[in-house]
Structure formats: C-alpha cells, structure tokens
Structure 1
Amino acid sequence: MVNDKKKFDLYLANAEIVTPHERYKGDVGVRNEKIVAILPSGTEVTAEKTLDLTGKCLLPGIWHTHCHFRDPGQTHKENFETGSRAAAAGGITMAIDMTNNTPPPAEPETFLAKKESAESKSYIDFGLYGAGLHPEQVQNLAKLGAIGIKVFNTRHPMDAYPYIPSLAVTDHGILYEIYEEVAKTGLVCAVHHDDSDWTRTLVQRDYIQKGKVSAEDYIEAYDRGYMYGHGMVSGLASSLYLAKIAGVRLYVLHVGVMPEMAYDYIQFAKSKGQTVYSELEACSFLIDRAMVEKIKTRTYLFAHNVDRAYEYLKYDTDTLVLEHAPHTLEEITNGLTNNFNAPLGVIGVQEFLPLMLNEVNKGNISLERLLYLTTESPARIFGQYPQKGAIAIGSDADFTVVDMNQEKILTDKEELSKSGWTAFDGVKVKGVPTHTIVRGTVVYENGEVKGKAGYGQMVKGTAYQP
C-alpha cells in the first residue's frame, strides 16, 4: 500500500480488489493516467471524480487478444470505432486486432495507415498484429510497433477467407523464414493453422459432391473434424517443429476448436522446453451441439469435448478469448443455401466477459484464474507487464469493475457491434461489467458508453516480460 493522498484525478473507493493472486478491500487513486495510490477503504482524500464501488469487484483491465475489427476492408461488417465501442461495453480495456484487412498490414505503408486510422477511432487501448507474409518485412513491422506477427498458414484461403486470399502463407519455406525473422524480434508469432488439402478432399467427396450442404450436414462434418478440425491439427504439428528449429515464440490460435490432439501436441512441445502459448476459444465449452443446431449459421464453432476444454481452461491454457469475428446477418443467412459457404465466426467482444463471469458463478473457473488468463498472462506474453495487466503503483490505470451478483439477458438489441447480432441472444448470465476504465478515464458506466472515439492508444509490442 502506498500512502499518497494528494489530490487524485480519479478515486475508486470501497472496492473488493481482485487480482490473479489476491483479494482485499481497498481504494485506488489515479493521477496522470497511472495508479499512484492503493489505500485502505474509507481513507479520506480529495479527487476530481470518485466512484463508490461498494459491493463491486475492481479488476485489472481485461484484455481481449483476438479481435477482427475488419478495418480497413470489410467495414460493412465492423470498423475500429464500432468494434472498440462494443469492447468498452463488454469491460475490455485492451484489444488486439488481427490482420484480416484489405490491404493487409504486411508492409510499413499499410501498417502505418491502419495504425493512424485505428488511433482516430478507438475507444480503448489496442495492439495491432503485423501480417506475416514477407520475411523481409518482419523487422520493419516490429520497429513500427506491431504487437506480434500473425500468420494464416492455410492451404485454401478462398474457401475460408474469400475476401483476403492474399493473406495465406502456404509454403513451408516462407513460413520458416518468417519464424526466423520473428524470433530475432522477440515478439510472438500468432498462427492460424490449417493444412486443409486432405480435409478439403473429404468435404468435397462426402458432402458437397453429394449435395449434402444443409446446416445439419455442416454440423456433422464439423463434428467429424472435416471443417476446421483435423487439418488444423496436422498444420499445428508441422508448425510446432518449424517453430522449434527457428526458435520463435509460437502463439497458437483456435485451441479448443481443433480436435483434442491439439492439446496433446502443445503440452508435449511445452514439456520439451519449447516456448509455445495457447489461446483457448471459449466456444469450446460455451457452445454445445444442441445450441448450434438451434442457431445454425450464427456460429458452427462448438465444443467437441466440454470436459477436456474445462480441464484445459483450469490448468493449461495461457490465454482465453471468445473470438470476435463479425459478419452481417444477411451474409450468414445467405449461407443457409449452402452451409459450407457460410462465413464462420462469433461476435464476442461484448459478450465475452459476462459469459465468463457467469462461468465463475457456476463454479467452472475461479475469478483469479480468469483474471490470470485475461490480464497478467497476455500482458506478459505481449511484453506489457506490469504497465498493463496489474493493479500496482505505476501501472496504467486500466480497470474493469464488475458486479458478480447482477443478472441480465444478452440480446441482439443491446449488441453494439456494427453487425448487430450475437450468437448468445437470449442467454441469461449472472455477473456483468459495470465500468470500464482506460488509463484513468471512464469509457463505460452502467450501460452507457461514455468514452470518445480516438481516446484509445496503440500499445507497441515488446518481448516477453517475466
């Protein structure tokens, strides 16, 4: 505790402060965007603004490490302003945006253009991946502040990403050279794996050529590992070996969507001393087959083995997300004529935290473990700890305030994403964010976004912070 009681810009009073490691009653004082005091509850101070958080939990600001804000490019689905506003309403203080853009941020010019645009629109702080396409550009992207390098290691990009086929890296020689260059920077290389040659053959043979393209057919194919399944695991297997030889810090995306052997491959690599991080998709336990059969194209990403996913959540994964990959209702409805052409994704940045707080209240994960996966761990992996991801003197004054007893029903009507719908329409949750505070500024409070577009700052990538 630090006894600095000079006038504060913001004073957070009477909270239950919860971090990955402890809980205690206390007050927090903020000045010049930083935490400058942690004091006993009831301490008399002067402040420009005081929030009485009696009955609420004060958490480190929550990270969301897998957002597709579609900007520039597919901005009819989402843009940085609407996506970051939805994030603020969901209790998110720091978002990492992917590279599904037109043009992709693969060279200095396109990366800087995206950075400048995002800085003018974002409500919250953010990191930007650089697109891993050209080995010779990796160092340049790192110098410009990329939070990491993202690679789409997929064989048939037109099948899954018809609007960004240029993003795919299909040649293992180029992939290895990208890994080599990223290793020199100390950044992570985040990879979407999909060795889809052989699974594509199975889909064509067993489904499409037979005219089996209904929602039920797609669900069956997904459950068999034909779609976003076995091909992702075989791609992961080869990538792990390439990454080990190159010495890169590999950040594995879509864990939990892949069949179970992906868990085993990652754990084996870790047991051999390889630096590998896993980002678990919350849909691996939040969405079951029965739910998908009801909502159909609103998402086809459902749990293969809920018990294994929960076990991995509790003990093994490094980070946790509900991937934010918006498409319009018209686009997903059009997919019903041939479900294998339906755009895949979940609109999740606003719903992620309420859904996970509900899991805490159900006893499926502790609040401390949830906070580790969504604050301290990503902050360390992306080199920002303890500037972010901590409640400590000198840290950025990023906070998420939650009411663990408040109940609400998630609805399309309240969705702030530009696409305007959620796969979780009608789902009741217990535990909601009430305030989102970014560097000492309240950007969301009790159902109202109060921040301004352009307040958010880009956070530059650095190496792992132990």
Structure 2
Amino acid sequence: MTYDLRIAGGEVVTPDGRRTADVVVKDGVIAGVIEPGAAADAMRTVDATGKLVLPGMVDVHVHTREPGFEHKEDILTTTRQAAVGGVTTIFGMPNLNPPTVDTETLDDVFERYARSSLVDWNHNPAPTKLDQVPLMADMGIRAYKIYMVVDTGRTYPHPAGTGEHDHGRLLAMMDEIAKTGLRFIIHPHDQALMDYIEGEYLERGENTPQGYASAYAARNGVIWDTAVDVVIRLAEASGCKIHIAHLQTARSIEAVRRAKARGIDVTGEVNHWAPFLSQWNDVETLGPYALSYWVPDEGRDAVWEGMRDGTIDMCSSDHAPHTREEKEIGWTQMWSSHTGTPGIQYYYPLLLDAVNRGQLTLERVVELVAGAPARSFGLEGVKGSIEVGADADLVIADPNAEWTITNDGVLSKIGWTPYDGRAMTADIVRTFVRGQEVFADGAVVGEPGHGKKATPRVQEGTKS
C-alpha cells in the first residue's frame, strides 16, 4: 500500500502513551502508527524529528458570530485561527441573530459552515423550543446549549431565545434532551442572586471593570455555586447528560467531583481565561479586555487541581471576540460592555507552555483538549486520538519554540488578544484536518469548505 502521508520521527502521543513513531495516513484516516523508518511508501513525508505529534483539539465551545454579528467574527476567520491554534474540530454556539433554536436556523448555520469552514465542525443549538429538540437531534448535532442568564444593561452576548433560568423549564428541556441521548451544555448562573448583587454594585456607582469582576465573584462565587448545584440535581432527576461551562470556583468543582462519584453523567470544562487570564492584575491593567470573569486565587488553584486530577474533563476556548469599540466602553460602563475574550488561536499553545512550566503533563493536556471532548460528545474513535481508524486530525508542535504573542499575529477580525506581549515556550507548527494540511510554516493553507460535519461513524442506537 502507498500511503498519502507519513509524519516521520516525532514523539507521538497515543491512547497507549507516547513514543517516537511514524504516523501514516490513507484517505484522510490514520492507517497506522509504525516504528520509525519502517518500510512504508508514502506520497508525502513530513519530518517531525524533535517535534510532538498530537491529536488536534476538539473545541466544543466556540462563538463564530455568524450569522448576525459578522463585524466581530465569522466562520472563515474563526476557523483560520483554529488552524493556527491546532484546533481541528469546533462546535459553534447559538447566541446568533437569529439564534439557533429550530431546524430552519440550524440548517442555515450548517450551510454556512459547509461553505466557509477550514476545519471540521458541529453546532450546539438552544433547546428553547421543546418540539424542535428531537428534530435537531435528527440533523446530526452532538449537543444543545443554554444560558441561565439574562443580560443587565445590554442585549448581547446573551440574546433572547438562548437563555432560560426558570428551573421548571430547565427540567422540561432536560427531559426532552434525555430522550435523544445527547449532552446538554449549560452556562450556570443564578439570575435572582445576580440581580440583587449587581444592584448593590450599580447603586454604589461601581460600574467599572473592578466592580463587574467583584460582583460576579461576590460571596465566594455564590451565583455560580448555587446554579451548578441546581443543574446537577436536575440532571440527576431527569437522567440527562450535562456539560457545565465556565467552571471557576472551588465549590462548583467539588460539586462536580461529588456528582461524578455518585454516578451522575456530568462533564465540565475550563476556558482559557480561567487558568491564564483571571488574576486581579489582569483586571487592573486590561480592564474590559480581560473580562470574561475574574477568578480569585482559591478558585484558580481549584481549576488547576481539577485539570490535573480529571474532575475538569476538558479545555474549551469559549472563543468570544468583540471589537475594541465594544470593549472600550467598559472602562467607565462595564455592564454595557460586551464580555468575553478571544481564545481559539492560543489556547493549545498556552497549555503546551504550561507543560514546559511543570503545571500539567503532556498526556493530561492531550486528554483535556482532544480525548475527553471527543469521548464525551460521541466522537470517540473518530476525533481526538491518534489511533488506527480515527480521522487524521493531527498537530505537529515544537516544544522548544520561544516566541511572543502579539496583536500583529492575531487573525481575528477584532485585531487584538489579551495575551499581547506574553512570552511562550511552545508552539503549533503544522495542523492537518483529515490528512489535509490547513496550517504550515506560519501560513494558513487550508481552503474554505474543507471542513465537514463531525459525526459518529455509526449513529448511536444502530449496529455496526
């Protein structure tokens, strides 16, 4: 057999561990992990000596902003950043205009991905129309998404149609989703408590980045902790598989740990800003450009520990770009600023840098960005691992690359990153999606429309 591609001489991280090996690819699929130099003809050989060969990141929490907010970002620019950042599969979010809540809007979004995406994709619609839940499942989605929040002083990034904080309605959604066997992604938030806490800060005139950061972390993160407790209990009552976004407090992470021990099917994620952009100094110096959220030291310590011990299952970027104009207002009117930070281009490199700094093992990073998300969202054996039969979604990384993140290197429409000036010790040098190179030698080389919908090889509930 003549293979299409051979990646030779790299240190390969597989489900069985890591070793120096060659990866061979045929028809977009991994055909073997063989001994270096073993006889095998290939149309193309890429030398990975001295480099890491890793599975591409499966990022289940990405805001592409298309349709409706293309002045911030679109699918093409999002997936160009994904290619550079070693992300080979993205799941988009429903807070669009119109919001993705039914088969019509979902079909439109799928068509947009098919035209524009460089990497593989899926999409997480909101289950706010209960009769649409099974119909959207039949269209091949892997999850649903809801926000337990209503924005104060703005209509975005949590627009009408994508939110629900009534517990009865949440339980009804879980009952319907449970029938599909899919996972329910939930942005936890206790709206009633937040209304009260925000009111205190706004009444005192603390409409600043510091005030906003303090309000969302107030009373040891009570708005997060109570919401996570409710979500876990409703999941237990409904049998719905849940995924909790934005884990950031010690108590919430411990609640997930206990729920797992009780056999509740709950997974959780940490986004780039929690380990890397959440110190008080970030709030003071970057203001609205760092928010997302502030995570006090106790919470950040718990995040790192949860990433290491497996309580936190995965890393998802929560890529959330906003323009400078939408951020600048936050210096004096933070509750009117659009919160969220871009992250898809740099999350994998930041985690590899953390490996070099002794904060995580390489194997744990691979599990966080690839193995766990693929397995949790029904893509095991297709995405997220270097094994025979899986898609050849591969990343070559240089573990000894010294470079600095700068705004000049940002591929997002917004043209800025909160990591501007950060020194790095590792980087992505090549990215392949189903054996096709989409990033190489510092340039995006993938073509719009190369990306395909990420689905299981055999649909759940059927026999192979």
Q: Which amino acid aligns with 1:43?
A: A
The counterpart of 2:203, out of the listed 202, 209, 229, is: 209
In 1, Cα distance between equivalents of 2:162 and 2:375: 27
Contact 1:381 1:463 in 2 (8 A): no
Secondary structure at the counterpart of residue 154 of structure 1: coil
Secondary structure at the counterpart of residue 255 of structure 1: coil
Contact 1:185 1:463 in 2 (8 A): no
In 1, Cα distance between equivalents of 2:54 and 2:151: 42
Unpaired runs of 5+ residues, structure 2, are none
The counterpart of 1:59, out of the listed 50, 54, 74, is: 54
In the alignment, structure 1 residue 398 sits paired with structure 2 residue 388: no
The counterpart of 2:270, out of the listed 264, 276, 280, is: 280
The counterpart of 1:178, out of the listed 173, 179, 192, is: 173
In the alignment, structure 1 residue 231 sits paired with structure 2 residue 220: no
Secondary structure at the counterpart of residue 198 of structure 1: helix
In the alignment, structure 1 residue 245 sits paired with structure 2 residue 237: yes
In 1, Cα distance between equivalents of 2:373 and 2:424: 25
Contact 1:90 1:351 in 2 (8 A): yes
The counterpart of 1:126, out of the listed 111, 121, 128, is: 121
What is the deviation of 1:44?
A: 4.1
Secondary structure at the counterpart of residue 325 of structure 1: coil
What is the deviation of 1:85?
A: 0.6
- Paired residue total: 455
Contact 1:322 1:346 in 2 (8 A): no
What is the deviation of 1:10?
A: 1.1
Q: 1:349 to 1:295 in 2, by over 3 A?
A: same
Q: 1:364 to 1:284 in 2, by over 3 A?
A: same
**Normalised TM-score (structure 1):** 0.93
**Normalised TM-score (structure 2):** 0.94
The residue number in structure 1 matching 2:286 is: 295
In 2, Cα distance between equivalents of 1:30 and 1:445: 17
In 2, Cα distance between equivalents of 1:17 and 1:55: 11
Q: 1:384 to 1:261 in 2, by over 3 A?
A: same
Secondary structure at the counterpart of residue 386 of structure 1: coil
Secondary structure at the counterpart of residue 173 of structure 1: helix
In the alignment, structure 1 residue 343 sits paired with structure 2 residue 333: no
Q: 1:375 to 1:336 in 2, by over 3 A?
A: same
Q: 1:328 to 1:157 in 2, by over 3 A?
A: same
Secondary structure at the counterpart of residue 150 of structure 1: strand
Q: 1:80 to 1:225 in 2, by over 3 A?
A: farther
What is the deviation of 1:377?
A: 0.9
Q: Which amino acid aligns with 1:364?
A: Q
What is the deviation of 1:212?
A: 2.1
Q: How does 1:1-400 map to 2 (within 5 A)?
A: 6-156=1-151, 159=154, 161=156, 164-205=159-200, 207-224=201-218, 229-256=221-248, 259-287=249-277, 288-300=279-291, 301-304=293-296, 305=298, 306-315=300-309, 316-400=311-395
What is the deviation of 1:223?
A: 4.1
What is the deviation of 1:337?
A: 2.4
In 2, Cα distance between equivalents of 1:391 and 1:213: 48
Deviations 1:266-316 (A, max 9, x none): 122222211111112232221211122111111222332232221111002
Contact 2:243 2:268 in 1 (8 A): yes
The residue number in structure 2 matching 1:3 is: none
RMSD in angstroms over aligned alpha carbons? 1.9
Unpaired runs of 5+ residues, structure 1, are 1-5
Q: Which amino acid aligns with 1:69?
A: T
Identity %: 31
